[in-house]
């Protein structure tokens, strides 16, 4: 299912680049550092366990209506974080899960471009399918040695991406925020909190614009 979805997304991106405005399409690359975390609600309070990762992406900027453009990306993300769970329904002992993994993320952003003298500013947002590639999960519990188990997290997430970028002479700085919408736990006990994955990424990049 995930592989087929990824295939059709890529076909759609390629199809959209083959429009009459092909001469205005700009390709780009970016790389950045990310604060990546899992968020869960515990005792009516939201808790976040984070770590630092990185992101590398190729992208396109495809004008389609006035100041609007389609800005898809294909990004390799180093993600992860930590969250807590419980061994059984009695609530003890507590286990801590720490993950470090790589994923393929495909933000499908719509950008609104704001021209300023000498500068291109844009705000953007859209859905961002996220596909797990590889990684490991470190499990720590009371009275036991740490172990590794990659099967504790679901391998697909549908996120919402939003951000802002400022471009000067083809070089741009961007801030992107990814908000996961699906519970990433594979197994959980009744009344146990959901776990969502979030990222905020700071990037530098370059657009190869025509002309």
Task: Show the domains of the chain with their CATH numbers.
Answer: 2-208 (2.40.160.20)
- Nearest Cα neighbor of 27 from 55, 65, 69, 68 is 69
Cis bond leading into 10, ω under 30°?
no
In 3-state terms, what secondary structure has residue 188?
coil
- Sign of CA pseudo-dihedral 4, 7, 11, 17: positive
The gap from C-alpha 75 to its chain's centroid, in whole angstroms, comes to 8
Taking alpha carbons only, the member of 184, 139, 203 closest to residue 37 is: 184
Q: Inform me whether the pLDDT recorded for 147 exceeds 70.
A: no
For the stretch 33-76, pLDDT in tens is 999 999 887 666 667 788 899 999 999 999 988 899 999 999 99
- Helix, strand, or coil here: 86? strand
Strand 156-168 versus strand 94-105 pairing type: unpaired
The residues facing 81 across adjacent strands are 99
pLDDT at 17 over 50: no
* pTM for the model: 0.81
């Amino acid at each position: 299912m995930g592989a087929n979805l990824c295939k059709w997304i890529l076909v759609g991106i390629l199809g959209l680049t083959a429009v009459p405005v092909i001469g205005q399409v700009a390709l780009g690359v970016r790389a950045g550092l990310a604060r990546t975390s899992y968020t869960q609600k515990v005792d009516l309070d939201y808790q976040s366990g984070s770590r630092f990762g990185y992101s590398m992406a190729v992208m396109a900027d495809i004008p389609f209506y006035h100041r609007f453009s389609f800005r898809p990306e294909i990004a390799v993300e180093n993600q992860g974080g930590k969250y807590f769970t419980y061994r059984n329904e009695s609530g003890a002992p507590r286990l801590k899960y720490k993950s470090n993994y790589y994923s393929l993320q495909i933000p499908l952003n719509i950008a609104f471009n704001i021209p300023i003298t000498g500068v291109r500013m844009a705000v953007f947002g859209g859905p961002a399918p996220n596909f797990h590639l590889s990684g490991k999960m470190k499990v720590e519990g009371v009275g036991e040695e740490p172990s590794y188990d990659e099967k504790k997290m679901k391998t697909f997430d549908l996120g919402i991406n939003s951000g802002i970028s400022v471009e000067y002479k083809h070089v741009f700085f961007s801030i992107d925020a990814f908000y996961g919408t699906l519970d990433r736990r594979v197994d959980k006990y009744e009344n146990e909190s959901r776990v969502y994955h979030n990222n905020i990424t700071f990037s530098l990049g370059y657009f190869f614009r025509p002309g």
